[in-house]
Amino acid sequence: MRLEDMRRSENVEDRRGLGRTGTRLGLGTLVLLVVGYFLGLSPGAMLSLIGATEGVSQGSAVAPVNAPHGRPTDAQGDFAAAVLGETEDVWTQYFAAQGQRYEPPTLVLFTDQVASACGAASAAAGPFYCPGDHKVYIDLGFFGQLDSEFGAPGQFARAYVLAHEVGHHLQALLGITRRAGGKQDSVALELQADCFAGVWARKAQRVIEPGELQQALQAAAAVGDDTLQRRMQGRVVPETFTHGSAEQRQRWFQRGYDGGRLESCDTFAEQSRL
């Protein structure tokens, strides 16, 4: 990616190195998160479950800590700020063309554990978006996992991950998240976020190097439910999918890229025809 051409976002909250400060996870919470991760469950769903079963009042999760905003100076943090800045520029322009105002999310960088408005989480839950505080959370160690464990290397594979989570923010802004409900809608939401990431990629062509699009498609396949289930439990159980298969995730990212508009991403309409 052409990082030198990308504006760095100021909407970054760097909590790395805080460790357990502001976050206290019970043993049951850790077990739920780890089990959910290996079964390919939605981090948002797991966080909601944790919040409902343990609750802030019981001390298993606390309100998010206040952390300074600012632009990270290390390479990984700088990259994340650059990608977030590009999503801000693309979606601000896109919404303005529709006569609307885009409100960007905040990106929270953390290490190991974090507290959010959706509850407490460990890095094992993977990157996630919390509609309760309009923040994207990521332990940047996940980028290394993409390469070494998931076989999806490259800068644009990492950019896809962030763009997908920002896609969930778009769903919250547009009221899609609020209207969704049920297990089938979980898959539709995830595939739509992939599609929104594809739309963003189409609009961000100026910073994408030739051949990098394939990195995003490879990453989409690597985090497909069937891929994860086959790797973690040796078999595929389609009725337990929460994010979509590798083929679906690639197809919807490509559809967003080819269509170049949010209207290209009506995963719910296709789901109703099945």
Walk along the chain (274 residues) in steps of 10 and give the mean pLDDT of each run.
97 84 43 48 48 33 49 94 98 97 98 95 93 97 94 97 98 95 86 98 97 96 95 93 96 98 93 58
Q: Is the pTM of this model over 0.85?
A: no
Place of tokens 């559809």: 255
Tell me how far apart the alpha carbons of residues 174 and 181 are, in angstroms, rounded to a whole number: 15
Round to the nearest angstrom and report the end-to-end CA distance of the chain: 38
pLDDT at 64: 46
Rounded-to-integer distance, Cα 48 and Cα 13, Å: 22
Domain residue ranges in the chain: 3-273
Q: Please give the Cα distance from 243 to 113 (Å, whole number).
A: 23
pLDDT at 27: 44
Instruction: Please report how many Cα atoms fall inside a 13 Å half-sphere around the Cα of residue 207, on the Cβ side.
Output: 23
Position 18 scores a pLDDT of 75
Number of C-beta neighbours around residue 258 at 10 A: 11
d(CA 86, CA 163): 9
